[in-house]
Structure 1
């Protein structure tokens, strides 16, 4: 009976270890970078925009920024450029009054894409609110955005789970082989 109780003890220990790994690794899997701040801010009313600024919680790669006008058509933008954790995109021409939407997509520092939309309204004739001096005059243009990144389990977590399964099978097989009676021919 001793080999069976050792088998059960080993199996329970492996299951508990896997459980601890999943509990403590899972928060990291959902910790994708997020948009911290934008200019213009979500739902802001601004006199105009010359530069779109998107600040993230960490350095991001491959930024893509699209600006849609009130009719849903693309507005000409400059090429997005990234400086540290902030993406800048120049607006090519003054914006007419109306509702606009910034659609953005970047690759998070953990390698997963995140995306979001920021609706805002232009109220004036196209004056800038995105330069640092204008941003200081217009607090609503630089407050915190509330877009959340999509949540998915990271690929490394699936690889970790697969490795744990393989290790668990190996431990089980090794324990099972030790508990089998050997023939004495």
Structure 2
């Protein structure tokens, strides 16, 4: 009986940790995180460490928090690509992404980059928008956040509880064997 529990515990320690933390993460983006881009931007690409599934998407917002239309979104393995019909405006752009990873979990995150295209600035002239303090604060509060949805947090909790139960049973059986 002792050998049985030792085998179970060994398998648990070897196999479970790799499954628990196998969530998809953003590994690369074009434009890059916190980059300052000095040319027209009409295409974005986000690359994750695993393939992503249908239903993955992203949205764009300017520094005032206003949505910027994304015309096309395409999923190609670990790549999430999107285009806009017009170049992005000058200023900070926030990319809010939501993907379904290869493990089936919904994962959210965001990042920012800045557009400083002199050609666009010359054409805009007086069209520059004023940023309200509230909108700027809300965008800054969201910067560099990434969270897991509630269902994906249940698995680690269950694994830890099961692990503790196996260890307790192992020591109970060991104590019974010693007393016999």
Structure 1-normalised TM-score? 0.62
Aligned to 2:10: 20
Aligned to 1:30: 21
Quote how far apart the aligned CAs of 1:60 are.
Answer: 0.3
What count of residue pairs does the alignment treat as equivalent?
141
Counterpart selection for 2:40 from 28, 48, 67: 48
Residues 64 and 13 of structure 1: CA distance in aligned 2, closer, same or farther (over 3 Å): same
Q: Take 1:117 and 1:53, find their aligned partners in 2: how far apart are those partners? A: 13
Relative contact order, higher structure (CA 8 A, sep 6+): 1
Aligned to 1:106: 99
Aligned to 1:142: none
Counterpart selection for 1:71 from 61, 64, 70: 64
For structure 1, list consecutive stretches of 5 or more residues without a partner in the other structure.
Answer: 1-9, 127-146, 173-185
Confirm or deny: 8 A CA contact 2:108 2:147 kept in the other structure: yes
Aligned to 2:129: none
Q: Take 2:62 and 2:105, find their aligned partners in 1: how far apart are those partners? A: 28
The two structures, once aligned, show a CA RMSD in angstroms of 3.5
Q: Take 2:21 and 2:94, find their aligned partners in 1: how far apart are those partners? A: 26
Q: Take 1:56 and 1:74, find their aligned partners in 2: how far apart are those partners? A: 24
Q: Compare CA radii of gyration and give the structure with the larger one.
A: 1
Q: Deviations over 1:98-146 (max 9, x none)?
A: 11110101000011112221200000045xxxxxxxxxxxxxxxxxxxx
Give the 3-state SS of the residue equivalent to 1:104 in structure 2. strand
Quote how far apart the aligned CAs of 1:156 are.
Answer: 9.3
Quote how far apart the aligned CAs of 1:34 are.
Answer: 1.6
For structure 2, list consecutive stretches of 5 or more residues without a partner in the other structure.
Answer: 121-143, 173-180
